[in-house]
């Protein structure tokens, strides 16, 4: 059964490790992440962006697939199904469809509007026993033309949003989505520290986990990050493994064109990436 992310993240924050959010795109992705979490006895959060939700034929399809797998694969570790960067309307749809956690990305609204919409969602989510992530300080990506440095959130705005009763808070600390530019200046630990000082026990979320050096990830965890989002890295490892299979001509040998064979190397590559991240984040064995 799907669970809210609240308890697993509170445990992670208290235990000084982080739970990975791995974004899913299809059946192979979901199966690879769930099996790895179970093998490593790690709690896990499955992230679904609005775009990926559409691609997978809507949120109800996603909920059906994930719930089916939890049962058929006999998954025993805590699993949350989480909307990533949701719009207000997207959040309502996922609540309705049976997600166990949502992120409302109100970072592009003026802070007053972010507060108002987050307040409404806190009410609904609490009634349903779900968890809610809020964002302060937009986290951009290469496509937004971020060069050198991502945005840093205002710690006082973080405190204002944290006090509304959200369960986890994403704050921009110089991180960005996608691949980091060569001249990236690194994470702003000063900002992270200031945010944690004001928000106390609130689990903090680090978006854009792909390409942040391991030592920075570990330092971020020591400063209160309890959830780390990984998306691009699984895409890159899946693509590289699939490319290798085809370039080696394996799809043209025997029944190598069978999708169950063609997608197998990519599937294994996702499992390997998820395993590396769970080891780095310290979540292995935490669901025992």
Toward Zn ion, which CB reaches closer, 47 or 224? 47
Which of 13, 82, 93, 207 is the binder for Zn ion (CB under 5 A)?
Answer: 207
Assess 31 for contact with Zn ion (CB under 5 A): no
Residue nearest to Zn ion (CB): 207
Residue 27 CB, nearest approach to Zn ion (Å): 23
Stated as kind and residue range, the H or E segment containing 181 is none
Helices (H), the chain: 6-15, 27-39, 50-55, 59-72, 88-97, 111-128, 155-162, 189-199, 214-222, 232-247, 259-262, 264-281
Toward Zn ion, which CB reaches closer, 22 or 267? 22
CA angle 253, 254, 257 (to 5 degrees): 75
Active site residue 214: no
Q: Quote the CA–CA distance of 249 and 184 in Å, as a whole number.
A: 38
> What would the x/- binding string for Zn ion be over residues 127 to 146, using CB under 5 A?
--------------------
Active-site residue identified among 84, 163, 182, 215: 84
Burial status of residue 84 (CB atoms within 10 A of its CB: 0-12, 13-18, 19 or more): buried
Q: 31, 173, 200, 179: which is closest to 107 by C-alpha?
A: 173
Residue 209 CB, nearest approach to Zn ion (Å): 9
Residue 139 CB, nearest approach to Zn ion (Å): 5
Q: Are 168 and 226 in contact (CB under 8 A)?
A: yes
Q: Which stretch binds Zn ion (CB under 5 A): 14-22, 202-210, 220-228, 235-243?
A: 202-210
Residue 171 CB, nearest approach to Zn ion (Å): 12
| Count of positions on this chain that bind Zn ion (CB under 5 A) | 1
Toward Zn ion, which CB reaches closer, 64 or 141? 141
Toward Zn ion, which CB reaches closer, 49 or 237? 49
Residue 74 CB, nearest approach to Zn ion (Å): 31
Toward Zn ion, which CB reaches closer, 207 or 271? 207
Q: Are 39 and 50 in contact (CB under 8 A)?
A: no
Which pair of tokens denotes residue 209?
Answer: 């986990």
Q: Which stretch binds Zn ion (CB under 5 A): 107-115, 142-150, 203-211, 258-266?
A: 203-211
Burial status of residue 205 (CB atoms within 10 A of its CB: 0-12, 13-18, 19 or more): buried
Residues that are catalytic: 84
| Interaction site with Zn ion (CB under 5 A) | 207
């Amino acid at each position: 059964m799907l669970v809210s992310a609240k308890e697993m993240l509170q445990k992670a924050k208290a235990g000084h490790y982080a739970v990975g959010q791995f974004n899913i795109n299809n059946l192979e992705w979901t199966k690879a992440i769930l099996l790895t979490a179970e093998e490593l006895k790690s709690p896990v959060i499955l992230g679904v962006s609005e775009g990926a939700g559409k691609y997978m034929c809507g949120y109800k399809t996603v909920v059906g697939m994930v719930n089916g797998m939890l049962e058929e694969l006999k998954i025993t570790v805590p699993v949350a199904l989480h909307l990533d960067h949701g719009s207000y309307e997207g959040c309502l749809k996922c609540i309705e469809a049976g997600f166990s956690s949502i992120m409302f990305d109100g970072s592009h609204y003026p802070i007053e509007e972010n507060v108002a919409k987050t307040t409404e969602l806190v009410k609904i989510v609490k009634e349903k026993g779900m968890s809610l992530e809020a964002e302060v300080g937009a986290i951009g990506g290469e496509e937004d033309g971020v060069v050198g440095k991502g945005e840093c959130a205002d710690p006082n705005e973080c405190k204002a949003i944290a006090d509304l009763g959200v369960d986890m808070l994403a704050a921009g600390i110089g991180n960005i989505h996608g691949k980091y530019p060569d001249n990236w200046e690194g994470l702003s630990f000063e900002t992270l520290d200031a945010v944690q000082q004001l928000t106390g026990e609130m689990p903090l979320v680090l978006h854009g986990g792909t390409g942040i050096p391991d030592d920075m990830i570990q330092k971020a965890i020591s400063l209160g990050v309890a959830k780390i989002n990984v998306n691009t890295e699984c895409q890159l490892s899946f693509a590289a493994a699939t490319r290798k299979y085809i370039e080696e001509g394996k799809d043209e040998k025997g029944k190598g064109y069978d999708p169950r064979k063609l997608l197998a190397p990519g599937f294994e590559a996702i499992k390997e990436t998820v395993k590396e991240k769970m080891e780095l984040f310290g979540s292995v064995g935490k669901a025992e």
